[in-house]
Amino acid sequence: MSWIEVSPEMTALLGRGASGGAPLPADPVNLVFSFGGPGDPATVRIDDAPESRSGADVQLVLVVARNALLRMGGRDPIGQDERGYHLPTELRAIAVALRDCDMAEAPRNVYRLAKSLELFCETIRLQRGASLVPLAEDGVWSIADSRRLIDARRMIDERWQEKLTLEMIARACGLNRAKLTRGFREMFACTIAEALAEQRLRQASRMLLTTDLPVSSIGYENGYLNNASFARAFGRRFGLTPTSFRSCGVAA
């Protein structure tokens, strides 16, 4: 196992095995990232057990001082945090970039330090916002079905620009439509249509602030066939019309 001393309050451990001589903060809490494999979902859990740093499936651990965790808005490991969550797409992308960086040694160390901070902050942000999806308890959803539902969410997160339909998502993830619809709502507290709309409206909001494209063009590029439907959906999500949103962003 290799390590990066991010600060006196955080050390990132990479690979498998014991932490060896890595400098660890006092009163540490572990953010443990497992990338999964056949039959096992990718997960993140937060605990304070030293043995959790060297499990066979563990490839990345952020060891953080408890005071730093609390200062950033996190909470002491309790119940669900220790049981674990499915590793969402955005965290997995950061974790993989951190784990697999192949730069030369000097820039690699800087890059991994920055990615360690980003991964920590994003994990705490999602935890604080109740956006991490708990691993299903026995008897609620099977591991296989939980993984299929997570695959459906990842498909939406990564391919939202395509004309995805319920039938396409169900077929790609190996679930029937009824189970996909019910399971997605229970696991993510929204419908598939709402998850797609969220991704499209987020992209539209970015384009409003970073491009000079007409509002109608931005709506069309993000799946809205007319300006009225785009304005209604945007207003429900952000509380402003697209034009007002753009004006406020420019003024800021």
pTM over 0.85: no
Query: Which residues, other chains included, contact 118 with Cβ-Cβ below 8 Å and sequence gap of 6+?
Result: 94
Nearest-angstrom CA–CA distance, 196 and 180: 15
Rounded to the nearest integer, the mean pLDDT of the chain is 87
At residue 26, the pLDDT reads 92
Chain segment 73-107, per-residue pLDDT in tens: 988 887 777 878 888 888 999 999 998 988 998 89
- Return the DSSP state at 103: S
At residue 123, the pLDDT reads 94
Q: For residue 165, give both structure tokens.
A: 């339909």
At residue 139, the pLDDT reads 46
Q: DSSP for 113-155?
A: HHHHHHHHHHHHHHHHTT-SPBPPPTTTS-HHHHHHHHHHHHH
At residue 222, the pLDDT reads 93
Domain parsing of the chain, residue ranges: 2-128, 143-180, 194-251
Chain segment 182-199, per-residue pLDDT in tens: 888 887 878 999 999 999
Homologous superfamily assigned to 194-251: Homeodomain-like (1.10.10.60)
At residue 140, the pLDDT reads 59
At residue 70, the pLDDT reads 93
pLDDT profile of the chain (252 residues), mean per 10: 91 79 91 79 86 72 94 84 83 92 90 95 88 66 78 90 92 93 85 93 94 94 91 94 87 52
Q: What crossing angle do the helices spanning 192-210 and 143-159 adopt, rounded to 10°?
A: 30
